[in-house]
Amino acid sequence: MPAPVPSLETHPLATGALRRASILYTDLDGTLLGPGARLLSDAAGAPSLITAEAVVALNRAGLDCVVCSGRNRWQLMEVSRLLGWDAYIAEVGCVIVPGRGQAPIYYTGSWGPDAIREGETPYEAITRVGSLRVLQREFPGLIEEHAPWHLNREATHVLRGNVPLADAQAALDTLELPVRIVDNGIINPPRHTLRGVTEVHAYHLIPDGVHKSDAIERDLARRGLKRADALAIGDSATDVEMADAVALGVLVANALDDARVVEAAATRDNVAVTRRERGEGWAELASAWLRARGGDQS
């Protein structure tokens, strides 16, 4: 039986894409970071330098990396600074920061000019129309705010739980603003108040029409780069969408634990998967990228 997603080693597009690419858009949690959102650990959570060394190798080679995450702008500002990177894309594509110290660019998808009231942020508009309230009413005990990461947000809400996405979206469709719920992958929060939920997912409530791929396209255009110049890596169904804006989308091996990721990847011919999980898989991509470009892999 064929593998659900071709491996990075065998994918027919991989060699050419890796040879040309000069920029990587990367997710953080479950992708670059190990369990507990740690950089200095392996996929099992043991202390390790493997991912940090891969970051240093790419930085030394002059290759650009841009975090593209559901985290808020303030979190990504610090993470990017510590990793030696400048630009970042926050809140699932809604907030684009072109470089250190530069003003953010906000994107609200299909929302019209009157969707947000004067002095209101997109986050506050999503709150105003009752998005979280309707979901908690329809799915009691199955969804809640992803505390404390729900704080200090400008454009989206971040939740956790396990709900049927189609039914959740149908509930949101009754609201006066078009709000979309997206699944950002399996997480392992240290604590929650959910009832009977064994597999916890991170969810985002975002303005309809926003995708990580849109933000990547905008960032590439700003840089004067094309789709063929870019790679992406992640672990969720939302991250699979990044493949629509780049030459090659890569999943770390743990992404295949989620059936929704496999389903999304199956509809795209430019998605590959690493052999290893989390940050070790990220390092595997970094090594393959440097090797394809004729660089040092150490």
98 and 20 inside one domain: yes
Q: How many domains does the chain have?
A: 2
25 and 47 inside one domain: yes
| pLDDT score of 1 | 39
Q: What is the mean pLDDT of residues 144-162?
A: 95
Is residue 166 domain-resident? yes
Q: Are 94 and 76 in contact (CB under 8 A)?
A: no
| pLDDT score of 31 | 97
List % helix, strand, coil for the chain (3-state, nearest 5): 35, 20, 45
Domain that holds residue 261: 14-106+213-292
189 and 240 inside one domain: no
Crossing angle of helices 131-138/165-172, nearest 10°? 130
Residue 93's pLDDT band (cuts 50, 70, 90): very high
- Which stretches does DSSP call E strand in 33-118? 64-68, 88-90, 95-97, 105-106
| pLDDT above 80: residue 105 | yes
Is residue 115 domain-resident? no
Average pLDDT over the chain reads: 94
Condensed to tens digits (0 to 9), the pLDDT of residues 169-193 reads 999 999 999 999 998 888 889 899 9
- The phi, psi pair for 195, rounded to 5°, reads -115, 120
Is residue 34 domain-resident? yes
Is residue 113 domain-resident? no
Nearest to 189 by CA among 39, 68, 37: 37
228 and 260 inside one domain: yes
Where residue 217 sits, what CATH number does that domain have? 3.40.50.1000
152 and 272 inside one domain: no
Domain boundary among 147, 179, 207: 207
Q: Say how far apart CA 77 and CA 88 lie, in whole Å.
A: 7
Residue 83: strand, helix, or coil = helix
Condensed to tens digits (0 to 9), the pLDDT of residues 35-86 reads 989 999 999 999 999 999 999 999 999 999 999 999 999 999 999 999 999 9
244 and 188 inside one domain: no
